[in-house]
C-alpha cells in the first residue's frame, strides 16, 4: 500500500512538472468555437506521463503491479472526459463553489491519475 501512495505522489508531481516542458515542443492549437481546446493536449500529455511514471515505478517500487495497455487507455479516457467537463458551465460553477481556487489544468491531471488506478 505504501508503494501505491508513493507512486501517486510521484505521478502527480512528475506529470505536473514534466508536462509543461514537453508542451513547449508541440505546436499551439488555435481556439475552436471560442473555446481553448488545448486542454485536451494537456490531458493526453498528463495521461502518458502518468502511465510512464507508473511503469517505471512498478519496476522500482516493491509490491506495485506493472500497468498494461488497458491502464493507459482508461487513463487517457478519464483525462479527456474531465478535460471536456471544463467546458460545461454548470459543472465549473458547482466546483468553483466547493473549491474556488482549483486550476483548470488539475482536472485532466486528476483524471489521468484516477484512471491509472482504476485499471491497474
Cβ neighbors of 114 (< 8 A, separation 6 or more) are 78
Question: Whole domain around residue 93: which residue ranges?
Answer: 2-118
Q: Which residue has the cell 482504476?
A: 118
Comparing 98 with 77, the larger pLDDT belongs to 77
Q: What is the DSSP letter of 68?
A: -
User: Count of CB atoms within 10 A of residue 86's CB?
Assistant: 20
* Three cell numbers, residue 5: 501512495
Q: In this predicted model, what pLDDT tens digit does every residue of 9-56 receive, in sequence order?
A: 999 999 999 999 999 998 888 888 777 889 999 999 999 999 999 999
* Three cell numbers, residue 73: 487507455
Three-class SS state of 101: coil
Q: In this predicted model, what pLDDT tens digit does every residue of 48-83 receive, in sequence order?
A: 999 999 999 999 998 899 999 999 999 999 999 999
Please tell me the predicted confidence (pLDDT) of residue 12: 96
- Number of structural domains in the chain: 1
- pTM score above 0.85: yes
The span from the CA of 21 to the CA of 117, in Å, is 25
pLDDT > 70? residue 120: no
Amino acid at each position: 500500500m505504501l508503494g501505491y501512495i508513493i507512486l501517486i505522489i510521484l505521478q502527480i508531481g512528475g506529470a505536473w512538472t514534466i508536462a509543461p516542458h514537453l508542451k513547449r515542443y508541440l505546436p499551439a492549437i488555435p481556439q475552436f468555437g471560442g473555446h481553448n481546446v488545448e486542454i485536451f493536449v494537456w490531458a493526453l500529455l498528463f495521461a502518458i506521463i502518468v502511465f510512464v511514471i507508473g511503469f517505471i515505478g512498478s519496476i522500482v517500487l516493491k509490491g506495485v503491479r506493472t500497468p498494461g495497455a488497458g491502464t493507459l487507455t482508461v487513463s487517457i479516457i478519464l483525462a479527456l472526459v474531465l478535460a471536456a467537463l471544463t467546458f460545461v458551465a454548470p459543472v465549473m460553477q458547482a466546483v468553483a463553489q466547493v473549491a474556488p481556487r482549483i486550476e483548470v489544468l488539475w482536472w485532466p491531471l486528476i483524471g489521468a491519475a484516477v484512471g491509472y488506478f482504476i485499471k491497474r
